Amino acid sequence: MKLNYSRRELEFFGEPINPELPTRLNRRAGGGGKGSAPPAPDYAGAAERQAQASMDVTKYQTRANRPTINTPWGTQSWEVNNNFDQAGYDAAMQAYKDSYQPPTPQESGDGGFNGLGSISLANVLGNKNGNGQGGYSLPKPNRDDFMGQEEWTMNTQLTPEAQKALDSQMAIQQGRSDTALGLMPHAQEAITTPIDYNSMQQYASAPEIANLQNAGNAPNLQTSVDTTNVPTYNSEYVQGVTNQALDYMRPEMQAQREALDAQLAAQGITPGSEAYNNAQRRFDDQQSRDQYNAVRLGMEQGNAMYRNQLAGNEQQFGQNLSAGQFGNAAMGQQNSLNLANTQFNNQNEMTSYQQRMLNTEFDNNLRNAQIAEAQMRQQQPLNNMNALVTGQQVSMPNMPQFNTAQRAQAPQYLNAANMGYQADLNAYNAQQAGAGNMMGGLFSLGGAALGGAGMAGGFGNLFSMGG
């Protein structure tokens, strides 16, 4: 038998529409038509429940990560304090007690008294609501509601040896601090006394640039030798010597020819004869050789004179060349002496300049050293204090690490509520769609019945089908 119907169906059957109470036919409005949609979930409650679950997980993880560690240096342990609000709990308990209301008497049929003239037990046990029972208007306080936030305390207990070493370090640190405190007046006096820069070596200016000398121009050397007086061959001298020799030989040559003619005539050799011609030819050859000898003598004399002239010219050329070379060598040597003298003077000037530069650098370095020393004297007391205070730090023994517990995932109440509501809403939408389809079928069936068997028969069939 169908138990869930839509409001339209219940109205059609004439049933009450209250979805919370059974109908005469034991039917309920369970979706479709004008049925109520599923109520929205309590998102705030789900969020609070999820937050509480997350807090519980965090507390569990915190407790899991609070082990007691024992090492050769000591022990590290934990203790928790919940900070119970005793005063608040006592005040809430007192308010709870003060909220008690005794029972009030209730009137019975005889004016509130029974036949014995006494108050009934039901009236004595009545409450503030008039039902004959007494009670408290406030709820009884719960101790868990007055427990505060957990406060964890880590305690480190060192071994006697480690504690003694720590005490020694702290004593040394305290002694250094006391010494640094004693240096405070000296440091204050040094840091507040200004540095007197005027009493120090003054900065020196850069020296003047060295006055160097120039070497001057190089001397003009002699680059040529006089060759204009070179002698030439004197042919006239040769001809003169030759003519002079021939003039000297002609009288003798003429006498020799006359003697030859006389000899030939005495011998009976007449001119024009062969013997005469041969004798004259031999005589002419001899005179020709004599004339040639005269010419050769002239040439020899001319050549000898020319050689003498060339030798004299060569000697003069050599003298001129030697004089030029000597002059050039003298000028080169003088130029070298001038260069050496200039270099010497410039070297002396550079040496003097470097000495002046060294003096300037020495003065400036001296001033910088004096300033650095004054600054060191001013800051050294403070540096000593800082060295005493920060030179040694007290260190605790390092406790070993351990594998910490990982945080668990809290229940997702908010997502679960949202998903449950979405499922109910989907079911409601499905019921709405199904109910609409059913009502359309019922009205179609009812119309067919009324048209075929009459209205009474039609309604009777419908109710019989519903039952």
Q: Are residues 438 and 341 in the same domain?
A: no
Judge whether 434 lies within some domain: yes
Look at residue 362 and tell me whether its pLDDT is greater than 90: yes
Q: Is 83 left (phi over 0), alpha (psi -120 to 50) or beta?
A: left
Residue 364 lies in a domain: yes
Of these ranges, 9-23, 400-414, 439-453, the one predicted with the greatest mean pLDDT is: 400-414
Predicted confidence at residue 9, as pLDDT, reads: 55
Other C-beta atoms closer than 10 Å to the C-beta of 50 total 18
Q: What is the pLDDT of residue 94?
A: 92
Q: What is the DSSP letter of 132?
A: S
Tokens 């945080």 belong to residue: 407
Relative orientation angle of helices 235-266 and 274-390, to the nearest 10 degrees = 160
Query: What integer pLDDT is reported at residue 24 of this predicted model?
Result: 43
Question: Which of 218, 235, 387, 243 has its CA nearest to residue 303?
Answer: 235
- Tell me, yes or no, whether 444 and 349 share the same domain: no
Q: What is the mean pLDDT of residues 267-294?
A: 85
Q: What is the pLDDT of residues 134-158, one digit of tens each?
A: 788 888 988 877 877 778 888 888 9
Q: What is the pLDDT of residue 16?
A: 52
- Place 123 in a pLDDT band, splitting at 50, 70 and 90: very low
Q: Under DSSP, is residue 70 helix (H, G, I), strand (E, B) or coil?
A: strand
The answer to whether residues 370 and 431 belong to one domain is no
Beta partners for 29? 5
Biggest alpha carbon distance in the chain? 251
465: in domain = no
Output the pLDDT for position 439.
Answer: 63
For residues 386 and 429, state if they share a domain.
no
Q: Residues of 26-38 as b/e, b for ≥16 C-beta within 10 angstroms?
A: ebbbbbbbebeeb
**Does pTM surpass 0.85?**
no
Q: Does residue 1 lie in a domain region?
A: yes
Confidence band of 359 (pLDDT split at 50, 70, 90): very high
Structure-token match 């964890």, residue found: 152
Mean pLDDT in residue range 180-197: 87
Does residue 362 share a domain with residue 273?
yes
- Same domain? 260 vs 308: yes
pLDDT band, residue 403 (cuts 50/70/90): low
What pLDDT is attached to residue 460? 43
pLDDT of residue 117 exceeding 80: no
List alpha helices for 65-202, DSSP H: 86-98, 121-124, 160-182, 184-192
Q: Are residues 63 and 2 in the same domain?
A: yes
How high is the pLDDT of residue 424? 80
pLDDT at 79: 86
Query: Is-contact 385 183, C-beta < 8 A?
Result: yes
Q: How confident is the model at residue 445 (pLDDT cuts 50, 70, 90)?
A: low
DSSP 392: -
Whole-number Å distance between alpha carbons of 426 and 216 = 118
Is residue 372's pLDDT more than 90?
yes
pLDDT for residue 181 is more than 80: yes
Quick one: average pLDDT of 196-213?
85
Question: pLDDT tens across 220-254, in order?
Answer: 887 777 777 777 777 777 787 788 778 878 888 88
Amino acid 457: pLDDT: 44
> Per residue in 379-389, pLDDT tens?
888 888 888 77
Residue type, 78: W
> Is 78 a domain residue?
no
Residue 119 has pLDDT above 70, yes or no: no
Domain endpoint, select from 334, 365, 390: 390
pLDDT score at 7: 54
Alpha carbon distance 249, 252 (integer Å): 6
429 and 350 within one domain: no
Mean model confidence pLDDT for the chain: 76
- Which of these three, 344, 367, 390, is where a domain ends? 390
Q: What is the reported pLDDT for 315?
A: 82
Of 348, 364, 390, the residue at which a domain comes to its end is 390
Does any domain span residue 218?
no
pLDDT, residue 369, reads 94
Using CA atoms, how far apart are residues 434 and 285, in angstroms rounded to an integer? 180
More confident residue, 37 or 178: 178
Q: By mean pLDDT, which of 20-29, 60-69, 195-204, 222-231 is the weakest? A: 20-29
Q: Model confidence at 4, in pLDDT bands (50, 70, 90)?
A: low
Same domain, 364 and 284: yes
pLDDT greater at residue 75 or residue 50: 75
Query: What's the CA gap between 218 and 337, in Å, rounded?
Result: 12
What pLDDT sits at residue 364?
A: 92
246 and 302 belong to one structural domain: yes
Please check the confidence at residue 201 and state whether its pLDDT lies above 80.
yes
**Max avg pLDDT among 205-219, 401-415, 450-464:** 205-219
- Is 307 among the domain residues? yes
Ranges 229-233, 328-332, 333-337: which has the least confidence: 229-233
Which of 6-10, 265-269, 321-325 has the weakest average pLDDT?
Answer: 6-10
Which residue range is the domain that position 251 belongs to?
235-390
Domain count across the chain: 2
The beta-carbon contacts of 422-430 under 8 Å, at least 24 apart in sequence, are 424/38, 425/37, 425/38, 427/31, 427/38, 428/31, 428/35, 428/37, 428/38
Looking at the domain assignment, is residue 377 inside a domain?
Answer: yes
Take residue 261 and report the two structure tokens written for it: 């003619």
Residues 338, 432: one domain? no
Percent of the chain at pLDDT above 90? 6
DSSP assignment letter at 147 = B
Residue 413, class by beta-carbon neighbours within 10 Å (0-12 exposed, 13-18 middle, 19+ buried)?
buried
Q: Are residues 319 and 443 in the same domain?
A: no
- Closest by CA position to 381, among listed 177, 184, 172: 184
- What is the pLDDT confidence band of residue 408, given thresholds at 50, 70 and 90? low
Please choose, from the candidates 458, 352, 392, 327, the residue with its C-alpha nearest in 3D space to the C-alpha of residue 179: 392
Q: When comparing pLDDT for 395 and 336, which is higher?
A: 336
Q: What's the CA gap between 193 and 382, in Å, rounded?
A: 13
Looking at residue 446, what is its pLDDT?
A: 53
Torsion of Cα atoms, 296 then 298 then 304 then 307, to 10°: -100
